[in-house]
Structure 1
Amino acid sequence: MGPEPAAARAVPGRAAPRWIRRLLLGTVLMAVIIVGGTAFRVWQVARVDGDRPVDAVVVLGAAQYAGEPSPVLAARLKHALALYRDGLAPRIVTVGGKQVGDLYTEAEAGRRYLTARGVPATAIDMVDEGTDTLGSLKSVAARAGQEGWSSALVVSDPWHSLRARTMARDAGLDAWTSPTRSGPVVQTRETQARYIFRETGALLYYRLTHASAETENTGLG
């Protein structure tokens, strides 16, 4: 009797691990493509100014201290003030609630900053609700519906722009972004890389869950 053919000696199911490896490799490659593509879009939108005439300039909140804006919030307010003075919108909407124990909301701190620089109180609309970007933008959209306006330039930090714009449009606003070009978030390449990484994860989380990912002490929640 001759030697047993190789096919006959093959162990049943031996090819299965090869398919598992291919599946795992394909999954990893897909994840790399999705994460890399999202990071590129975060970087790309951060570099774009969507400046145009709109109904309102919306300043997303960040930390405030006894009514004084933090450096992050002050950079956003300074940029919004420039847009208002350029005549791109008849109103500025300041946004953000307060932490436990605070005397002022982020929206109030924003209004104080703007009125001290000559913006009429009648041109400032406070939306002092929301503790993260998603909640704040939903409140802004509700206020817009009540007051009969719909288009907005959303002011935040560059790396936050894509997620903020996505959330604003999902909330029903005709939104574009006008990112700040100053402040702590844009000072160094290391800081920029850290925020791009953080925003990539936060945006992917939002797209999967339609919930906001908290990013502590940054105003980027």
Structure 2
Amino acid sequence: MLWIWIVAGAGLAAAAFIPPGLKQRWKIRNRLMKTAVSAGAILFCLYFFLVELGVLICLPSQGKENLDYIIVLGAAVYGTEPSPVLQKRLETAAAYLKRNQDTVVIVSGGQGPGEDISEAGCMETFLLEEGICKSRIIREEKSETTVENIRFSGSHIQEQEASVGIVSSNFHIFRAVVTARSNGLKHACGIAAPFGGLLLPHYAVREFLTFTFDLISGNLI
């Protein structure tokens, strides 16, 4: 998602080189319009702050013990091997499943470009190697987005009052849980897999943009 920063940088650079005459022509003289623009900017900043606060608060989410289900959200697979991001999610899921022997896991993710198998298939193999019984694993391998992960996985959950944990990278938990609760999993909670380093702020900003897109698209109603 490097394009986010390229577009932002290009916009700032373009603004710096606007000819003075053009700037004057664009200058807002109407006081009411100035007030509206200022109010809009304040509301946008407040919205950005609230979303990022939600992302920040959810970073250390550990969920609850003895959940009925956990859903592991897919991430990239390199050939047949999990990417580092997916590896962390799977390690987190395996640790939870070993502590909670009655919890059923839904591994969710289709097959994308450069992937020799589906993300769900890769996750199932990993969990089996970790000693998780096959009868506890449900594969959902049609989804391509977080919204589809949640909706398609939710179709495997018949109990309306089921407790569900969403396993994903820490920066992704806020949007994933809001999506789950908006799509009928009203007792959903987050189980955060660790992710850190210099790229964390980048992914936090990306979550704001994707959350906004999902909100506008009606996926978070």
Q: Same fold (TM over 0.5)?
A: yes
1:187 equivalenced with 2:196 (yes/no): yes
Residue equivalent to 1:155:
167
Q: What amino acid maps onto 2:201 in structure 1?
A: A
1:57 equivalenced with 2:66 (yes/no): no
**Aligned counterparts of 2:101 and 2:56: Cα–Cα separation in 1:** 25
Give aligned pairs, total: 191
Helix, strand or coil: the match of 1:172? coil
Aligned CA-pair RMSD: 2.0
Q: What amino acid maps onto 1:119 in structure 2?
A: I
**How many Å apart are 1:95 and its aligned residue?**
0.7
Indicate if the aligned counterparts of 2:78 and 2:114 stay in contact, CA closer than 8 A. Answer: no
**Aligned counterparts of 1:123 and 1:144: Cα–Cα separation in 2:** 13
**How many Å apart are 1:148 and its aligned residue?**
7.6
Residue equivalent to 2:125:
112
1:74 equivalenced with 2:87 (yes/no): yes
**Aligned counterparts of 1:157 and 1:20: Cα–Cα separation in 2:** 42
1:97 equivalenced with 2:110 (yes/no): yes
Q: What amino acid maps onto 2:170 in structure 1?
A: P
Residue of 48, 57, 60 corresponding to 2:61 = 48
Indicate if the aligned counterparts of 1:94 and 1:124 stay in contact, CA closer than 8 A. Answer: yes
**Aligned counterparts of 2:207 and 2:160: Cα–Cα separation in 1:** 32
Residue equivalent to 2:216:
208
Q: What amino acid maps onto 2:173 in structure 1?
A: S
Residue equivalent to 1:21:
34
1:134 equivalenced with 2:147 (yes/no): yes
Indicate if the aligned counterparts of 1:153 and 1:177 stay in contact, CA closer than 8 A. Answer: yes
1:170 equivalenced with 2:182 (yes/no): yes
| Structure 1 unaligned residues grouped into runs of 5+ | 1-15, 213-221
**How many Å apart are 1:30 and its aligned residue?**
0.9
**How many Å apart are 1:208 and its aligned residue?**
1.9
**Aligned counterparts of 1:33 and 1:164: Cα–Cα separation in 2:** 21
**Aligned counterparts of 1:30 and 1:177: Cα–Cα separation in 2:** 28
**Aligned counterparts of 2:160 and 2:48: Cα–Cα separation in 1:** 38
Residue equivalent to 1:11:
none
Q: Kindly tell me: are residues 124 and 37 of structure 1, through their superposed partners in 2, closer, same or farther at Cα, counting changes over 3 Å?
A: same
**How many Å apart are 1:123 and its aligned residue?**
1.2
**Aligned counterparts of 1:71 and 1:125: Cα–Cα separation in 2:** 22
Indicate if the aligned counterparts of 1:55 and 1:149 stay in contact, CA closer than 8 A. Answer: no
**Aligned counterparts of 1:187 and 1:40: Cα–Cα separation in 2:** 17
**Aligned counterparts of 1:166 and 1:98: Cα–Cα separation in 2:** 25
Percent identity at matched positions? Answer: 23
Helix, strand or coil: the match of 1:143? coil
Alignment deviations for residues 130-154 of structure 1 (CA, whole Å, 9 cap, x no partner): 1111011100111112x78732111
Q: Greater Rg, structure 1 or structure 2?
A: 1
**Aligned counterparts of 2:114 and 2:90: Cα–Cα separation in 1:** 23
Q: Kindly tell me: are residues 88 and 115 of structure 1, through their superposed partners in 2, closer, same or farther at Cα, counting changes over 3 Å?
A: closer
**Aligned counterparts of 2:204 and 2:145: Cα–Cα separation in 1:** 18
**Aligned counterparts of 1:87 and 1:52: Cα–Cα separation in 2:** 7
**Aligned counterparts of 2:137 and 2:206: Cα–Cα separation in 1:** 31
